[in-house]
Amino acid sequence: MDRIKIVGGGKLTGTIPISGAKNAALPLLIASLLTADRLTLKNVPNLADVNLLVRILRNHGVDLAVDGKRADGASHLGETFHLTARDIVDTTAPYEMVSRMRASFWVLGPLIARMRQAKVSLPGGCAIGTRPVDLHLQGLKALGAEIDIDRGYVLAKAPKGLRGARIIFPKVSVGATHNVLLAAALAKGETVIENAAREPEVGDVADCLVKMGVRIDGIGTSTLRIQGKDRLEGAVHTVLPDRIEAGTFAMAVAATGGDVLLQGARGIDLTTALEALRQTGTDVTEVEGGLRIVRNGNGLLPISIETQPFPGFPTDLQAQLMALMTRAQGTSVIRETIFENRFMHVQELARLGADIQLHGDTATIKGVKALQGAPVMATDLRASVSLVIAALTADGETTINRVYHLDRGFERLEEKLSRCGANIERISAS
Ligand code: UD1
């Protein structure tokens, strides 16, 4: 298994190109199941999760062609995928695959909508809490799907096809919104989703569906009105920039000090996180072509935040903010309201010398003068990148084990950081 070795202490200076958003690319790839025509996606990030989903989609019969290699220096533009689901040959998504990536469960809605039947494994356990799928099933049942659970699989059918309905989600769920939105695109009549997730990635999927011929009102709001169509057309769509990657690098710069342009990052997708960074004393400015993050000399101020659905502070940046606050001049409080058990990074940050107390859903972080490098273990995607941030500021050498978690969601992380002066290196398992 690969490891990452970091020697901390240096500032970050330069430009970091932001990749296409993993959390938009995944549902956009799944949207290819909705049409027999070609869906072209540009700016697809090269990530382990994307590759795994492609394998799952190929199983269903999706044909993929990827545009040739780009010229040097343009690799940050991501890849262009041409996906064609002319015939869906298999409506089963097996446990071996779905259990490895939760988002693959979202094939359920499109498969029932197009094929009127699907058998999709329940996603199973997950490092950051139980993460049920009741809301997904509630939404799809409202659209007319008959659903049984049998031996770990969701068996769904809709012999007469799905029909539009009004769905009020009792809780905001990104995945359930995607699943129902994708299904509603091929349902008969109007579907209204109330309390829909407003994450920019949901808006990106809705924009793509509009290009495929679906009428959707309320994109970007918590009420989505979808006029389903019998048949969707192909389209060309560019995946939006990854706000979580951008926020992560912004926090890394705040932690180490320095001056970095996050090329392609959009402030509008990160308002609350950027506001939090400003409160720490970091300069954040929207400039042409991206976001500029500067921190020179001044100490970090402590802050208190709680995670919330968009536009609140994203849970996917909680671990990174905690890493940053380990070095603040005072005590910070972070409350995690989205996922139980999303504090696995705390133990590992403590190994580097952080002072963090946990009480239920709340972490109290007392800033320390210095962190010390040590061997640590990546536990999940966002937790592992928080260790990278901490290691960049720690004295001496840190080795991060199990970096396959990082490869799931961060494209060329070492390269992007080392180009800005970080002493970071991947040690490949022989
Ligand atoms: C997505 C993101 C993930 C992010 C999360 C919250 C992708 C690929 N993943 O995950 O990075 O951390 O949104 O922003 O986009 N819930 C239920 N019942 C359900 C579904 C969810 O109770 O049927 C709960 C979850 O346990 C959690 C909360 O709702 O407490 C939010 O989860 P959800 O928004 O669905 O997260 P994901 O879509 O899995």
Q: What is the pLDDT of residue 115?
A: 98
Query: What is the pLDDT averaged over residues 285-299?
Result: 93
Q: Is-contact 371 6, C-beta < 8 A?
A: no
Residue 297 has pLDDT above 80, yes or no: no
**Radius of gyration, CA atoms only, the chain:** 21
Q: In terms of C-beta density within 10 A (0-12 exposed, 13-18 middle, 19 or more buried), how is residue 302 classed?
A: middle
Residue 143 has pLDDT above 80, yes or no: yes
Q: What is the pLDDT of residue 179?
A: 98
Instruction: Return the amino acid letter for 52.
Output: L
Mutational pocket test of ligand 1: of 22, 100, 338, the residue with most ligand atoms within 8 Å of the beta carbon = 338
Q: What is the pLDDT of residue 72?
A: 52
Q: What is the pLDDT of residue 403?
A: 86
Domain closes at, from 192, 227, 262: 227
Q: What is the pLDDT of residue 144?
A: 98
Residues 123 and 33 placed together within one structural domain of the fold: yes
More confidently predicted of 379 and 312? 312
Those residues whose C-beta lies under 8 Å from the C-beta of residue 266, and which sit 6 or more positions away, are: 240, 241, 243, 246, 291
What percent of the chain is modeled with pLDDT above 70?
Answer: 96
Residues 200 and 153 placed together within one structural domain of the fold: yes
Residues 13 and 137 placed together within one structural domain of the fold: no
Q: Is residue 233 part of a domain?
A: no
Residues 32 and 162 placed together within one structural domain of the fold: yes
* Ligand 1, atom 1: closest residue by C-alpha: 174
Cβ–ligand 1 distance for 23 under 6 Å, the answer yes
More confidently predicted of 125 and 116? 116
Residues 51 and 15 placed together within one structural domain of the fold: no
The DSSP code for 37 is S
The 10s digit of each residue's pLDDT in 347-362 is 999 999 999 999 999 9
More confidently predicted of 73 and 310? 310
The 10s digit of each residue's pLDDT in 276-289 is 999 999 999 999 99
Domain closes at, from 227, 258, 281: 227
Residues 277 and 359 placed together within one structural domain of the fold: yes
Alpha-carbon distance 423 to 54, whole Å?
33
Query: What is the pLDDT averaged over residues 127-145?
Result: 86
Q: What is the pLDDT of residue 428?
A: 87
Going by C-alpha positions, the residue among 341, 320, 309, 224 that lies closest to residue 276 is: 320
Q: Is-contact 366 331, C-beta < 8 A?
A: yes
Domain closes at, from 227, 254, 275: 227
Query: What is the pLDDT averaged over residues 14-26?
Result: 97
Q: Is residue 83 part of a domain?
A: yes
Quote the mean pLDDT of the chain.
Answer: 94
Token readout for 339 is 């996922």
Query: What is the pLDDT averaged over residues 250-271?
Result: 97
Residues 11 and 29 placed together within one structural domain of the fold: no
Residue 383 has pLDDT above 90, yes or no: no
Residues 60 and 79 placed together within one structural domain of the fold: yes
- Domain housing 153: 22-227
Those residues whose C-beta lies under 8 Å from the C-beta of residue 207, and which sit 6 or more positions away, are: 219, 237
Those residues whose C-beta lies under 8 Å from the C-beta of residue 369, and which sit 6 or more positions away, are: none
Q: Is the pTM of this model over 0.85?
A: yes
Residues 325 and 393 placed together within one structural domain of the fold: yes
Instruction: Return the amino acid letter for 251.
Output: M
Those residues whose C-beta lies under 8 Å from the C-beta of residue 132, and which sit 6 or more positions away, are: none
Q: Is residue 235 part of a domain?
A: no
Q: Which atom of ligand 1 is nearest to the CA of 314?
A: 14
Q: Say how many Å lie between the CA of residue 404 and the centre of ligand 1.
A: 21
Cβ–ligand 1 distance for 381 under 6 Å, the answer no
Q: What is the pLDDT of residue 112?
A: 98
Alpha-carbon distance 109 to 94, whole Å?
15
Instruction: Return the amino acid letter for 83.
Output: L
Q: Say how many Å lie between the CA of residue 131 and the centre of ligand 1.
A: 7
Q: What is the pLDDT of residue 228?
A: 97
Residue 200 has pLDDT above 90, yes or no: yes
Residue 123 has pLDDT above 60, yes or no: yes
* Catalytic residue IDs: 126
Q: Is residue 234 part of a domain?
A: no
* Ligand 1, atom 29: closest residue by C-alpha: 173
Residues 341 and 213 placed together within one structural domain of the fold: no
Q: In terms of C-beta density within 10 A (0-12 exposed, 13-18 middle, 19 or more buried), how is residue 260 classed?
A: buried
What percent of the chain is modeled with pLDDT above 90?
Answer: 86
Tokens 């976001």 locate to 291
Token readout for 89 is 């040959």
Query: What is the pLDDT averaged over residues 55-65?
Result: 96
The 10s digit of each residue's pLDDT in 205-237 is 999 999 999 999 999 999 999 999 999 999 999
CATH of residue 212's domain is: 3.65.10.10
Q: Say how many Å lie between the CA of residue 173 and the centre of ligand 1.
A: 5
Q: How many domains does the chain have?
A: 2
Instruction: List, in sequence order, every residue forming a beta bridge with 234; answer none if it has no partner.
Output: none
Token readout for 334 is 């972070």
Residues 173 and 248 placed together within one structural domain of the fold: no
Give residue 298's pLDDT band: very low, low, confident or very high (50, 70, 90). confident
Question: Edge-to-edge, what's the strand order for the sheet holding 190-194?
Answer: 166-168, 190-194, 223-227, 215-217
Cβ–ligand 1 distance for 62 under 6 Å, the answer no
Residues 144 and 218 placed together within one structural domain of the fold: yes
Entry field: residues in the chain: 430
124: helix, strand or coil: coil
Alpha-carbon distance 232 to 177, whole Å?
19
Residue 153 has pLDDT above 60, yes or no: yes
Alpha-carbon distance 25 to 41, whole Å?
8
What are the Cα distances from residue 263, in Å, to 62, 78, 382? Answer: 32, 13, 21
